Structure 1
Amino acid sequence: MIYQNLITEVKEHLLYITINREKSLNALNRSVLSELATVIDFAKHADEVRGVIITGAGEKAFVAGADIKEFADYDGKKGEELARDGQQKVFNAIENSPKPFIAAINGFALGGGLELAMACHIRIASENAKLGLPEVTLGLIPGYGGTQRLTQLVGKGRAIEMITTANMITAVQAEKFGLVNYVVAQTDLIGKAEEILNFVKQRAPLAVAAAIRAVIASVNEVDGYKVEVESFGKCFETSDFKEGVVAFLEKRKPQFVGK
C-alpha cells in the first residue's frame, strides 16, 4: 500500500516503517496516525511479518511531538476523543501487537513521539537522541498513554519529574533510567534493531506472541500470572511446540512455521 506520510517495506520478514515528514520533524497529525493505524493492523495479520522497526525520516527527529495546530481549538470532549481514539488505534495497538515492535529513535522523541516509542516493545536510541514529554508547557498532559508507560518504565519519581518539569533527557540518561534498551551510533541504529529481530525470527512465532501478551499483562491486567498460565498451556497445543521438542531431542535447529 502507498502512504502519504509513511515509507514502508517488508524485507526478510521484517516490516520497516519510516514516518516521512522530515521538514515537520515527523510530527504526528491525523493523517499520520490514520496511516499508522492501517500499517499496524497489517503487521498484526500478515504472516510474512515477524517483527517491525519504526523510525523517523532524516537525522534530527524520530517524532518531535504532535501537530499542535490541529487541536488548538478543541474543547474537553474533543480532547478526550482525540486521546481515546489515538490510544486505541495506534499506541495500544502497537503494545498489544503479537509481533515485536522496535522503536529506532534517531533524534528528538518528544511528546507523542516519546509516547509512540514507549508503546513499542523495545527502544534503541542514537547517541544524539533527546527524549521528553513537554505537554505541561502547553497546559496539557500526555494523552497517548505517556503518564502510564513512562511510570512503568522508569518509576513514579522519575516519571513525575520528567512530566512536570518538561525537561528533555539525553539518550545516555534514558538508558540509565531504563527508558531505552540500547544507545548506539546513529549509523548503527537500524542494524542494532535488525540484530535483535533476527534472533526473534528464529524463535516460534506463536510462543513469541504469547510471551509478549503475558509480559504486557503483568502491567495492564489484574492477574498477569493467570494470563501467563493460560498462554503457557496454549503453547502445548501448537505444532511449533512439537517441532521444538523433537528438534531439541534430535539436536538440530527447529523449523518453526507459526502453527
Structure 2
Amino acid sequence: MDAADQDRMVAAVSTMGTPTENGYVRVKVERAVAVLTVDRPPANALDRQLVDQLSRAATSLVRRGDVGAVVITSTRSRFIAGADIKMLRGLDDSLFPRFVSAIQRGFDDLQRLPMPRIAAVNGPAVGGGLELALACDPQFVAEGTRLGLPEVRLRLLPGAGGTQRLVEAVGKGPTLELLYTGRGGHPRRGVASRASRSNGAGGTCDRLADLGGAGRGPCRRSVRTARSAHWCSPEPQAVSRRAGT
C-alpha cells in the first residue's frame, strides 16, 4: 500500500460530521460513531500535549448520549510514530517518569471507555503508536503496515502498556520476541483483528453505524464488561460478573 492508498483510507474515515475539538486531535460524531483523528506533523509523534488531548477527547465522549462506538485514526502516512524522541531527550530525570505516567493514564482512560474503541491503523504504528492501538479493541490495520516495539534499541522499555496488552493479544512467546529484538513487522495474528484495504476504516464506521448506533450502546457496553471481566479476573469471578451475580 503506497502513501496515496493510505491517505484515501484516512479520508474514508475522516469525512464524517463536523469537528468538535481543535488541536492535535479532531473529534467528529455522526450516526453514533465518534472518530478521533490524530494530526501532529510531521509524524504524529506523541508528546504531552497530544496525550492530554487524546485523554480529554476520550473522556468527553462518556458524557455524551449519542456515541455508541469510537474509532481512532490519524492523518498522513503514519498512525502514530511513537514518542517524540527529540522531546524525550530534552527531559530531565524528574520529568521523564511524569511523561510516562501521563501516557499510561491517557491510554488507560481510552481502554476504560464503556463503548467499543476501534483503532483504524492506516500506517506504521511503532512504540507508543502500537501501545495506543493495543488500548483499543479491535484493531483494523491497513495491509502492509509495519508494527513494532523498538524501545529496546533505544535502551528503553515500552512504558504505556505494551508489555501487558501485547501478551493478551499474541501470547507470551511472540511478545517476548518482539520485546527482546525490537524488530517490526507486518500485522501478525492477534495484533490486528483484521488487515484492511485502503477503505477498511471507512467501512468499519459504516458497519458500526448500521448496527443501530447509540440505541445498542447498552448491549455493546455489556459485551465490553463481560470481555474485560473474562480476561482480567479468575474464571469463576469472570463468569459471575457476566451473569450479573
Q: Normalised by the shorter chain, which TM-score bucket?
A: 0.7 to 0.9
SS in 2 for 1:62: coil
Matching residue of 1:93: 109
TM-superposed deviation, 1:233:
2.7
User: Structure 2 matches for 1:1-259, cutoff 5 A?
Assistant: 1-21=20-40, 23-58=41-76, 60-74=77-91, 78-88=95-105, 90-171=106-187, 174=188, 177-196=189-208, 198-199=210-211, 201=213, 204-221=216-233, 223=234, 225-233=236-244
Matching residue of 1:257: none
Report the TM-score, using the length of structure 2 for normalisation: 0.84
**Paired residue type of 2:79:** F
TM-superposed deviation, 1:202:
7.6
SS in 2 for 1:63: coil
Q: Which whole-Å CA distance do the structure 2 matches of 1:211 and 1:26 have between them?
A: 31
Q: Over aligned residue pairs, what C-alpha RMSD do you find? A: 2.1
**Paired residue type of 2:72:** I
Q: Gapped runs of 5+ residues in structure 1?
A: 235-259
Q: Which whole-Å CA distance do the structure 2 matches of 1:84 and 1:213 have between them?
A: 25
8 Å CA contact 1:3–1:35 kept in 2: the answer is no
Which range moves more in the overlay, 92-101 or 66-75?
66-75
TM-superposed deviation, 1:209:
1.2
Matching residue of 1:246: none
Matching residue of 1:243: none
Choose 1 or 2 for highest CA Rg. Answer: 1
**Paired residue type of 1:36:** L
Q: Which whole-Å CA distance do the structure 2 matches of 1:30 and 1:200 have between them?
A: 36
Q: Which whole-Å CA distance do the structure 1 matches of 2:137 and 2:166 have between them?
A: 13
8 Å CA contact 2:140–2:200 kept in 1: the answer is no
Q: Closer, same or farther in 2 for the Cα pair 1:228/1:96, shift >3 Å?
A: farther
Q: Which whole-Å CA distance do the structure 1 matches of 2:213 and 2:78 have between them?
A: 28
Which range moves more in the overlay, 114-123 or 189-198?
189-198
Report percent identity of matched pairs: 30
Q: Gapped runs of 5+ residues in structure 2?
A: 1-19
What is the count of residue pairs matched by the alignment? Answer: 226
**Paired residue type of 1:137:** R
Structure scoring higher RCO (CA < 8 A, sep ≥ 6) equals 2
Matching residue of 2:7: none
Q: Closer, same or farther in 2 for the Cα pair 1:4/1:203, shift >3 Å?
A: closer
Which range moves more in the overlay, 204-213 or 74-83?
74-83
Q: Closer, same or farther in 2 for the Cα pair 1:74/1:220, shift >3 Å?
A: farther
